Structure 1
Amino acid sequence: MDIKSKSKYLFAAWVLLIAFGLSGLFSVLTNGSRFMHGDYFDSDEYNSQMDQFIAMLNVYELYEMPKEEMKKQITVSDEEIEEHRTRYGNLSDQISNIGMQYEDQIQAAIDSENKAAEEVLKKERDEKIADITENFNSDEYVRAKIVKEKEKKIDDFYQRLGAYRSNFNNLGNAFKYYLKDNTTGEVITNLNLAKGESASDYMNKKDMYYVVDYAGLEKNYLFSGYNENFLPYNEVAETILENQKDRDLSGQIGLSKHASEKNIAIMNYQDYQKGQKLFFGYLLSSIAALIVSYFLAKRKPATVFGSFDQWKSFYGRIPLDVRAVLLLTTVFFLLLSMTLISEQFVYYHSNVFATLTELIISLVAAAALLAFGWIQLRFLSDYRKDWPKLKEDLNNSLLVKSYHAILDAFIIKSIGFQLLVILGIAFMMGMLLVAVLAAGGGEVIVIAFIIGVISLPIFIMVMRKAGYLNKVMKHTEELAAGNLGADIPVKGISAIARHAANINDLRTAVNVSNKEQAKSERLKTELITNVSHDLRTPLTSIITYTELLKTPDLAPEDRESYLEILDRKSKRLKVLIDDLFEATKMASGNIELHKEKVDLNQLLQQALAEHNEALSQSSLQLRVSQPDHPVYAFVDGQKLWRVFDNLIGNILKYALENTRVYISVKEERNQVVLTFKNITKYELGEDLDELFERFKRGDQSRHTEGSGLGLAIAKSIVDLHEGTLDIEVDGDLFKVKVILEQLN
């Protein structure tokens, strides 16, 4: 045998060992919770069976009640009487319903001149009406009816209870109990005690697999255990049984070693014991297999993988997303095969030959899938050294190509929808053809697969052509609008490609002409000087902390701190820029107002509601006074809301803690006067006009995060509404007054 063949056999053995070892570890996930927590008597299976036996023991022995005795304990509450009485509505509704039920039948008897049927139907109707009427006249009448219903349910309960007794007797052959009522001295047991014998002669480790004191069970199992798995559920019977006085019982319950091996309780115990032994034997064998595979690996059986390199080029031509799906499918079937292997080992089967056959097939399949998956991972691992190749293959994947093809096809929506309609019609015709062939006895699955294989490449090709055409047309529109942009890629020698080349020539000529005639213009505004400080501060911080982040071996806590600062400063910079643009638009008047009739009272309340959480969390005490009736003005509600929002925001930033804030709305001589007053946190200068300057704030050392544009924007909006916004300062009292024309 040559070395190459020997290596292949060694590789096959190595993969089989790894597959077997991994399946053993995998079985810990699937069966570990069942077999590793303790012995059988700690398992859910045993506890469930004990639940069943205790529930039956309660009904058949401990709290047994004769049927007639149970009927004597039936009670009827006032709520039950009322529910029975009004179950189908009030008296008039029920009488009306009964009348309608019989109306058609009586009329049919009259039409057919069947007097006997007419009299019978009318008698039935009148009896039901009389019965319903009596329900509403007498509680005792209703009570008697309810008692009869409950007695019928009790009869049904005892009839079904007899069918369950065989289950109790079967379990009683395995579960032995000796219980004593500490109050009455009564002994309840299924032990056959001879004269002179005691319960300890049987309830011991010699005769029992497991013995437990009843005191540990009685608190958990009473009548709440009734369900269809154990006993027939009956609400009336259960309520009466639960209301019985609890018995003071003590004693033991055990699983007998002398029970028949065909008893379900003993069979469950033995199956668990066998399964647990198989599980641990399987687990130890799988660990041993992994250890052996480790030593085999030193003989380098994995070098056989080198013989698969000839497939690497073919594998590389498969789209990346298809390779990912192939790998996931391999992993799925590998886990499935490992589950099958685990099941063959853990669960006991009487047919040894069938078990071995399934085990060998599952093991070989798992080894083959493991090798196949390993090869795929090895090929995919090459991307670790070639990230540009990964990016390229991602862009060439079917999903990305299809996505871009669809986007390109819908650059001009009309063409995209036309293509969609055409392809939809073609698809429907194809499905119709399949249906026709299937009706004629054709192989529908084969035909559908062929159509799918053919239609997918056609779909991608059509979408790519449509996308290219859309790009050419879009560039043409941009050129016509004066946006030169970049050259259109020329692909192939088709008419579309020649058209793209001609457009590129035209673009070049227009570009040269524009360069010869273009004049350089620069935009200079006074805002550059005003904003330089506020923009430079966060920008400098961003640059500084960005450089600090480049520091090698930077501590994680420092990195988190720097990132938090960067986030805060970048948001601060965005606020400044947004407010700057807003202020510039307001100052230039380059803004359109959408005026309408607006209730200023309601608009102010909306602005306060927006800051409700911040106001409630602050220590400020808000006092708002408004007229009880609406106060209307002809304004742009959205823009004026911005004024109120800025003024309330300034109050939250600059008002002194634990002070009152006053906001009022008044009507004065066809005008609406809105006043905002607060005590300032910082000293204000004497020149109040400075507060309306852009990037001017009340805290001269710039402690707050505002842009300094709030009052400037607010004043510009009020000015556009031909109103006034004035500021008054009396010591630390800061007052803003907004005056607008009232709409009568």
Structure 2
Amino acid sequence: MKNKFIHTVRWQFIFIFILSIVFAAGTVLLAYRIVKSIVGLSYYSGPLRWVVNNIGSTPVMVVVGGGLFLVYFFIFSRKIIGYLEEITQGVQEIAKGNLDYEIVARSTDELGEVAETINVMTRKLKKSIEEERKAERTKNELITGVSHDLRTPLTSILGYLELIETDRYKDEVELRYYTRIAFEKTKNLNKLIDYLFEYTSLPGEGIELEMKKVNIYGFLKQLAEEFVPILTKAGMTCRVTAEDDTLYIRADGRQLVRAYENLISNAIRYGSEGKFVDIKISRSGQEAVVEIVNYGEPIPESDLPYIFERFYRAEKSRSSRTGGTGLGLAIAKSIIEMHGGKIGARSHRKQTVFETRLPLQPSRQPGTDS
């Protein structure tokens, strides 16, 4: 800490200031002694004696000393000023769009910290731009792909409905066959439309949350009951357990439903082989911890760091069978973080766990809760 205090730009300039005064004073005194010895020589005595008699040695020494001080100050501060100019040139280069440019951190003082901070900012900006471009490319690919896929089932539906409308079928069996195909194509069409809606309804920074007191156990218990038809169709059961069923959080219920719907849907989609979805609620310090557990195929370790990214789909072959846009987990992460919480995942051979942590409702005196 002491070393850091000493090695600052402020102290460097103070040191340079003192050093410049010392060198200027030393040079003036040395020059004074030389001039004094020269005055005794007849050849130089005339002009020097005139200066001494008419101007005075003291004013001359002050003026010369001041000039020397400026010269020495510029010389001794050249390194700092040069580094400041180098940082300025670097910032200008970065401003032109060269995000690969890095300013060399030549010192441990404030200028070195400024240079390193600019480098960190540039790296983050570059990464952010790359991620934005990647997301834009993926979004365009998604919309292009889904738009193309929308045309195929729609064409089939129109074709079969035209056959039915114009009575071009042999008997009721063929009529039901055409109807069933149209129905299946309509379901596919509905799924694709849901994908597009899911993308367009991604939570953004400008969204305003309507925060209310929520009992997390009651909230998830009710949500699990709404999934009963889907669970039954998948041959699964949802079990909700809580160490403490009186944990309260402050949340926007509508947004929180979206987050946990995506997490539960994900558990059903990829965990149907395990027959159960477990929702475990507990408390850790001042946080409500919710674990959503499925017992299906594990998520590969290489995919775990990326599963909350937009459009990322772990195990591409499995995703192609089960569907999904790769947006559900990204939406859940965004909503949980908007509530000041955290989300994570862990997976091994026996189970996959998605864990969320949300701040508990602060304790209040009776009658003060809104």
Query: TM-score, with normalisation over the residues of structure 1?
Result: 0.27
Cα shift at 1:657: 2.6
How many residues align? The count is 218
SS at match of 1:716: helix
Q: Structure 2 counterpart of 1:576, which letter? A: Y
Gaps of 5+ in 1: 1-523
CA distance in 2, matches of 1:697, 1:632: 33
Q: Structure 2 counterpart of 1:599, which letter? A: N
CA distance in 1, matches of 2:188, 2:154: 7
CA distance in 2, matches of 1:712, 1:606: 23
Compared CA separation, residues 684 and 548, structure 1 to 2 (3 A): farther
CA distance in 1, matches of 2:243, 2:298: 32
CA distance in 2, matches of 1:525, 1:683: 26
Q: Answer yes or no: is the 8 Å Cα contact 1:725–1:738 preserved in 2.
A: yes
SS at match of 1:580: helix
SS at match of 2:281: strand
Compared CA separation, residues 695 and 546, structure 1 to 2 (3 A): farther
Aligned to 2:278: 662
Aligned to 2:217: 601
- In angstroms, what is the RMSD of aligned CA positions? 2.9
Deviations 1:402-437 (A, max 9, x none): xxxxxxxxxxxxxxxxxxxxxxxxxxxxxxxxxxxx
Task: State which of 342, 345, 369 in structure 2 corresponds to 1:724.
Answer: 342
Q: Answer yes or no: is the 8 Å Cα contact 2:304–2:345 preserved in 1.
A: yes
Aligned to 2:296: 680
Are 1:542 and 2:154 matched, yes or no? yes
SS at match of 1:591: coil
Deviations 1:159-193 (A, max 9, x none): xxxxxxxxxxxxxxxxxxxxxxxxxxxxxxxxxxx
CA distance in 2, matches of 1:629, 1:569: 40
Q: Answer yes or no: is the 8 Å Cα contact 2:336–2:342 preserved in 1.
A: yes
Gaps of 5+ in 2: 1-134, 363-370
Q: Answer yes or no: is the 8 Å Cα contact 2:274–2:296 preserved in 1.
A: no
Cα shift at 1:546: 3.3
Structure 1 segment 692-711 matched on structure 2, within 5 A: 692-698=308-314, 700-701=316-317, 702-711=320-329
Task: State which of 254, 270, 294 in structure 2 corresponds to 1:638.
Answer: 254
Deviations 1:202-244 (A, max 9, x none): xxxxxxxxxxxxxxxxxxxxxxxxxxxxxxxxxxxxxxxxxxx
SS at match of 2:201: helix
Q: Structure 2 counterpart of 1:577, which letter? A: L
Structure 1 segment 292-441 matched on structure 2, within 5 A: none
Aligned to 1:736: 354
Compared CA separation, residues 706 and 530, structure 1 to 2 (3 A): closer
Are 1:713 and 2:331 matched, yes or no? yes
Identity of aligned residues (%): 24
Q: Answer yes or no: is the 8 Å Cα contact 1:539–1:573 preserved in 2.
A: no
Cα shift at 1:741: 1.0
Cα shift at 1:679: 1.6
CA distance in 2, matches of 1:711, 1:602: 23
Are 1:533 and 2:145 matched, yes or no? yes
Cα shift at 1:607: 0.8
Cα shift at 1:547: 4.6
CA distance in 2, matches of 1:600, 1:736: 16
Q: Answer yes or no: is the 8 Å Cα contact 2:242–2:282 preserved in 1.
A: yes
Q: Structure 2 counterpart of 1:537, which letter? A: D
Cα shift at 1:558: 4.5
CA distance in 2, matches of 1:626, 1:594: 26
Compared CA separation, residues 528 and 624, structure 1 to 2 (3 A): same
Q: Answer yes or no: is the 8 Å Cα contact 1:542–1:570 preserved in 2.
A: yes
Aligned to 1:157: none
Are 1:560 and 2:179 matched, yes or no? yes
CA distance in 2, matches of 1:612, 1:696: 28
Cα shift at 1:734: 1.4
Q: Answer yes or no: is the 8 Å Cα contact 1:666–1:672 preserved in 2.
A: yes
Cα shift at 1:714: 0.9
**Structure with bigger gyration radius:** 1
CA distance in 2, matches of 1:633, 1:683: 30
CA distance in 1, matches of 2:324, 2:243: 32
Cα shift at 1:693: 3.4
Cα shift at 1:595: 0.7
Q: Answer yes or no: is the 8 Å Cα contact 1:682–1:698 preserved in 2.
A: no
Q: Structure 2 counterpart of 1:711, which letter? A: L
Structure 1 segment 113-124 matched on structure 2, within 5 A: none
Query: TM-score, with normalisation over the residues of structure 2?
Result: 0.52
CA distance in 1, matches of 2:234, 2:189: 26
Q: Answer yes or no: is the 8 Å Cα contact 2:244–2:282 preserved in 1.
A: no
Are 1:671 and 2:287 matched, yes or no? yes
Compared CA separation, residues 628 and 543, structure 1 to 2 (3 A): same
Structure 1 segment 276-287 matched on structure 2, within 5 A: none
Q: Structure 2 counterpart of 1:580, which letter? A: Y
CA distance in 2, matches of 1:566, 1:662: 33
Compared CA separation, residues 628 and 723, structure 1 to 2 (3 A): closer
Q: Answer yes or no: is the 8 Å Cα contact 1:621–1:659 preserved in 2.
A: yes
CA distance in 2, matches of 1:685, 1:532: 30
Cα shift at 1:663: 1.8
Cα shift at 1:707: 4.2
CA distance in 2, matches of 1:705, 1:719: 26
CA distance in 2, matches of 1:539, 1:725: 37
Aligned to 2:266: 650
Q: Answer yes or no: is the 8 Å Cα contact 1:542–1:569 preserved in 2.
A: no
Aligned to 2:201: 582
CA distance in 2, matches of 1:589, 1:575: 22
Structure 1 segment 42-61 matched on structure 2, within 5 A: none
CA distance in 1, matches of 2:154, 2:229: 31
Q: Answer yes or no: is the 8 Å Cα contact 2:298–2:349 preserved in 1.
A: no
Deviations 1:427-451 (A, max 9, x none): xxxxxxxxxxxxxxxxxxxxxxxxx
Aligned to 1:627: 243
SS at match of 1:662: strand
Q: Answer yes or no: is the 8 Å Cα contact 1:534–1:695 preserved in 2.
A: no
Cα shift at 1:545: 4.7
Cα shift at 1:603: 0.9
Q: Structure 1 counterpart of 2:257, which letter? A: W
Compared CA separation, residues 561 and 612, structure 1 to 2 (3 A): closer
CA distance in 2, matches of 1:580, 1:707: 9
Cα shift at 1:532: 3.0
Q: Answer yes or no: is the 8 Å Cα contact 2:310–2:326 preserved in 1.
A: yes
Q: Answer yes or no: is the 8 Å Cα contact 2:288–2:360 preserved in 1.
A: yes
Q: Structure 2 counterpart of 1:574, which letter? A: I
SS at match of 1:667: strand
Cα shift at 1:600: 1.0
Cα shift at 1:715: 0.9
Aligned to 2:74: none
